[in-house]
Each structure stands twice: as structure tokens, then as C-alpha cells.
Amino acid sequence: MADIDTKRRRGGGRAGNAARRGGAVIEQMPWRLPVNIDRPTEPLSADGVMAIHEGAMRILEEIGIVFLNPEALEIFKQAGCKVEGELVKMGRDWVMEMVRRAPAQFTITPRNPDRELIIGGNYMLFGNVSSPPNYWDMEIGRKVPGTREMCANLLKLTQYFNCIHFAGGYPVEPVDIHASVRHLDVLYDKLTLTDKAMHAYSLGKERVEDVMEMVKIAGGLTEEEFRAKPRMYTNINSTSPLKHDFPMIDGCLRLIRRGQAVVVTPFTLAGAMAPVTMAGAVAQSIAEALCAIALFQYVQPGCPCVIGTFTSNVDMKSGAPAFGTPEYMRATQMTGQLARFYGLPMRSSGVCAANVPDGQAMWETSNSLWAAVQSGSHVVYHAAGWLEGGLIASPEKFIMDCEVLQQIQRYMEPDTFATGPEDIAFDAIKEVGNSGHFFGIQHTQDRYTTAFYQPFLSDWKNFEGWEAAGAVWTPERAHHMFKEIIGSFEPPPMDPGIREELADFVARRKVEGGAPTDF
């Protein structure tokens, strides 16, 4: 098999140098929307699901949620909820009636319609790491604040890898750009360097509205076309315990009123902002998410909403957050059961506590990603590039994670367990009989180029071959690959007129002062 000239599909960009180097050529799986065909892992019995639901409903009815948003308070009053100052209590009948309005499945269509996403059903989609303030790579070798260039490089990876379906928040916070205009520069970079679905931070009116305008411009859309279906989304967190702040709710209201999608993801860290028991932390998370989703469904019936989970536990020694733990996995699976109970699409994450892209980083990330699969998550945030509990973005980790994501996507392909007559291969087994091997036979020749997953980063050489090739450990291989991808990156096509219009918009909004920086 070794001497057969395998035809290689190239991913985006030119991999000429890589091909000439012989070893680490980047071969990718094609763009697709993976379908998760596994029955979810369900730790909870039906009674367990009801116990968490009952807990969430009692939280909403008896304790209530603080909304630091006057408009939301007014809407809750109109809806007949009990509003005491900023505290809102709502009955389960109303909450469930509202939640039932949410669609179980919807689409998000970015400027390149070939990148349209289906959120819900059995689809499982992955996005890049979002919002770390810091950056680490092997060349720099230490933790440094993010810059626009680092951010752009991570956006190039976001675009390059077919296993990444959408752009999350900023893959690293570019703190070299003033906060008032940061969203303008980064969105310009995001929209020109990628053609995948866009995210807006709900951090103030101007930021949300600017991003919506820029997405409209990039897509060449009229306001009517923009509103006709989701073109982008926001992701908000509650301020656990039991509080929603002003800008997050404000941003969501602005998006849903123009037909865009929202993801509501409480961050309930068991033992810190939520009970030390996982079921308690999940119940609180469900309550915090459902009250916001109910609000949005009251305002805009049928608007696309995703319920997110970010329930993990603290380190018992230090109180610091831990990620990819056994408890994290169970919380994610439990939330999946509740999301199905409510008929809502679900978001989880690819996460770790490790500080560098080593063995720990990969077992923690693997734990979280397999929990995403097992929970029936539809959207996986932070799926590539996350380190140090989300405080560091790393291009090496990004590429290592993409190798794992591709394997998960391959795992979901039904031909890995097909059992037709040609799969059982009785005739081939008979042909080879009790000695010899299957390398040369026709059944193998007909299939071997597509039969198995082909990694782009894993090194399957034996030790001697690996040593002869420089004895390069995984993160260093990923680092070389990072340099090559960036070096040969070609942005997706964009009409020059649209690019100019985007640039003009950014320039005009900068002159106007951008966004206030009081958030």
C-alpha cells in the first residue's frame, strides 16, 4: 500500500511547501454539516429530568431572577409576571408556553450561502475559541496580551479549517485596538478573512447595531433580506447567580427584533456561583437560560434561541474553575436531556484548564468534546484553540483541536459501521482464506483510499521514522503547520465594492467615535 500514489485532496490555500517537505501535508475533510447519529448518553432517569425541571421552575417562581434591564422589566410586567423592583418571578405555565414557541431547528446564513448552518436536528457544529484576553504560541513562549495580528491569524485558522463551522467571538481580544472601535476593526477582519457565520458581542447598542450593519453590507443585503432569516447570532451569559445584566439582554432584544439568533449560556460554576452539587448547578443554569428565552419568545414569537451550558466545577483546593472534568461531562449530558425536554437546540463547549497544549490539555479537551457528542449538543463553542480556562488562545492548540474535531466528524460517518454484504466482505474473507493478507485484493484496492480517517497532524510513523523526521512532538508539529497556513492563506473571495463599503463604514463609525467604553 505504501508505494501507491494516493491522490490527496487539498484544503484551502497552497500546501506546496508542505507537500515538498514530505511529512506534514495538510489534508482536510471537506466542509460539511456533521450529523450526530449516536443516541445521547443519558445519566438521568425521567424522574431525574423532572427533578431538575421542577427545581428550575421553583427558582423562577419562588426566588426570581434579577433583570438589570428596564425594558425587560417593563415587558415582564406586560406579560403578567410578578416584578418587584428588578426582581422578576414568573409562573411555570407562562415560561413553558413561551419556551414552546422557540423553533427546534433554524438556519444561519452567512455572506457565503454555501456556509449556511442548520442549528438543531442532529446537526453538530463547531466554532473557534472566543474571547481570551491573552495569547500563547511556541515561538513567543509566554503568555502575552492579544493583538489585532494574533486575532487575524486565528481568524485565518477559523476560515482555513473545514471542521470549524462558525466564527465565535474574537478568537483573542486585540487589546492593541481601543475598546471603542475594536469591534469595527475586528469585524472588518472577520468579514474579510472568513465567510462563515458571524457573532456579535452584546456589549452595548452601538456594537450590536454596527455588527448587524456590517453583516448586511458584507452580504449585500437589504434590510428586508437581512431580517428575512438569521444571518448572524449573539451569545450571552447570565451573571450567576440568578441575574441578567443590561447590555446582554439589550443586545439580544436588538437581534431578535431583526430576525437574528441568540444563544443564552449561563456560567454556573458549581461551588462558586452555583450549588456545589452538579444537579443544582444545572437546575440554576436552566432557570437562568429559560427566563431569558421566555422573554425573547414573548417579544418575538418563534425567534431562534439556543440554550447553552457552561456548568463546570471549581478546584477544591483553590476555588479556580476546572474544565473537562468528570463532573463537567455529566453536567453537559444532563443539560442535553433538559434541552431535549424543552425542545431547544443546545450549545456546549470544548474546554480545558491546562496552560499549554500538552497531554493534560488534550485529555481535558477530549473529555469536553466527547461530552458534547454524548449530550447531543448542536453547537460547540470554543471547540478549537482554548487554553487556561479560556484566558489564553493558542494557534497550536487550535490546530491540535481541529485534528480531534475531524476525528469526531469522521466518527459520525455511517460508513464506519455499515453492514451491507460488501461491508461484511464474506467473499473477500473467503478469497484470502487462512493465510495471506488483504493488502492486494480487489476489495481492498477498491476502498482503501477512503476507508479510513487520514489525520493531518497525528504522526503515525514508527519511532525510528518519527526520530529520523526530527523527533517532533505534537505542539511543535502544529506550530510549523500554523506558520504554513498563515503564510499561504488566501482570504475567501469578496466583491471589491463590498470591501470598500465595509472599510468606509468602519472609517465613518470611527470618526463618529465608535462605541462608548463604559461596559
Query: Residue 125, SS3?
Result: strand
Contact between 388 and a copy of itself per CB under 8 A: yes
Q: Cα angle vertex 443, ends 438, 448, to 5°?
A: 80
Which residue in 194, 234, 260, 284 binds a copy of itself (CB under 8 A)? 284
- Of 192 and 367, the one with the shorter C-beta distance to a copy of itself is 367
- Of 463, 493, 496, 497, the one binding a copy of itself (CB under 8 A) is 463
Report the residue number, 117 or 278, with the smaller CB distance to a copy of itself: 278
Q: Please report how close the Cβ of residue 503 comes to a copy of itself at its closest, in angstroms.
A: 36
Q: Which residues contact 420 (CB under 8 A, 6 or more apart)?
A: none
424 belongs to the binding site for a copy of itself (CB under 8 A): yes
State which residue, 230 or 475, has the beta carbon closest to a copy of itself. 475
Residue nearer to a copy of itself on the CB measure, 147 or 355: 355
Tell me how far, at minimum, the Cβ of 419 lies from a copy of itself, in Å: 4
CB of 75 to a copy of itself, least distance (A): 19
> Using the rule CB under 8 A, is 437 a contact of a copy of itself?
yes
Between 84 and 504, CB nearer to a copy of itself: 84
Q: 32 to 91, contacts with a copy of itself by CB under 8 A? A: 37-39, 41-44, 47-48, 51-52, 54-55, 58-59, 62-66, 87
Among 122, 147, 162, 366, binds a copy of itself (CB under 8 A): 366
Q: Which residue has the cell 446564513?
A: 109
Q: Select 220 or 470, whichever has its Cβ closest to a copy of itself.
A: 470
Helical axes 278-299 vs 70-78, angle rounded to 10° = 80
Could you give the string, one character per residue 305-334, with x where binding to a copy of itself holds by CB under 8 A and - elsewhere?
--------xxxxxxxx-x--xxx-xx--xx
| Residue 363 interacting with a copy of itself (CB under 8 A) | yes
Element (H, E) at 31: none
Rounded distance, CA 215 to CA 111, Å? Answer: 8
CA–CA separation, 290 vs 368, rounded Å?
A: 23
Nearer to a copy of itself, 167 or 404 (CB): 404
Using CB atoms within 10 Å of the CB of residue 86, give its burial: 0 to 12 exposed, 13 to 18 middle, 19+ buried: middle
Helix (H) or strand (E) holding 130: none
Beta 269-270 vs 312-314: how paired, if at all?
Answer: parallel
458 binds a copy of itself (CB under 8 A): yes
Q: Is 355 in the site for a copy of itself (CB under 8 A)?
A: yes
Rule CB under 8 A: which of 194-223 touch a copy of itself?
Answer: none
By CB under 8 A, is residue 6 in contact with a copy of itself? yes
> What residues numbered 94-113 form the site for a copy of itself, per CB under 8 A?
none
Q: Which of residues 232-261 bind a copy of itself (CB under 8 A)?
A: 241-243
CA 170 → CA 135, 150, 164, 184, 201, distances in Å? 12, 10, 14, 12, 9
Q: How many residues bind a copy of itself (CB under 8 A)?
A: 132
Among 95, 119, 198, 279, binds a copy of itself (CB under 8 A): 279
Residues 95/82, Cβ–Cβ less than 8 Å: no
Three cell numbers, residue 53:
425541571
| Residue type for position 176 | D
Q: Which of 145, 302, 436, 516 binds a copy of itself (CB under 8 A)?
A: 436
Could you tell me which of 471, 112, 473, 59 has the C-alpha nearest to residue 268?
59
Q: How far apart are CA 200 and CA 209, in angstroms?
A: 9
Q: For the chain, first and last CA: distance in Å? A: 60
Cell, residue 91? 409562573
> Does residue 175 bind a copy of itself (CB under 8 A)?
no
- Distance of alpha carbon 14 from its chain centroid, rounded? 26
Q: Decide if residue 392 touches a copy of itself (CB under 8 A).
A: yes
Q: Which sign, positive or negative, has the C-alpha torsion 78, 84, 87, 92?
A: negative
> Taking CB under 8 A as the rule, does residue 461 contact a copy of itself?
yes
Which of 176, 245, 459, 501 touches a copy of itself (CB under 8 A)?
Answer: 459
Rounded (to 5) percent helix, strand, coil in the chain: 45, 15, 40
In the complex, minimum distance from the CB of residue 95 to a copy of itself, in angstroms, rounded to a whole number: 16
Q: Residue written as cell 425541571?
A: 53
Compute the least distance from the CB of residue 507 to a copy of itself, in Å. 37
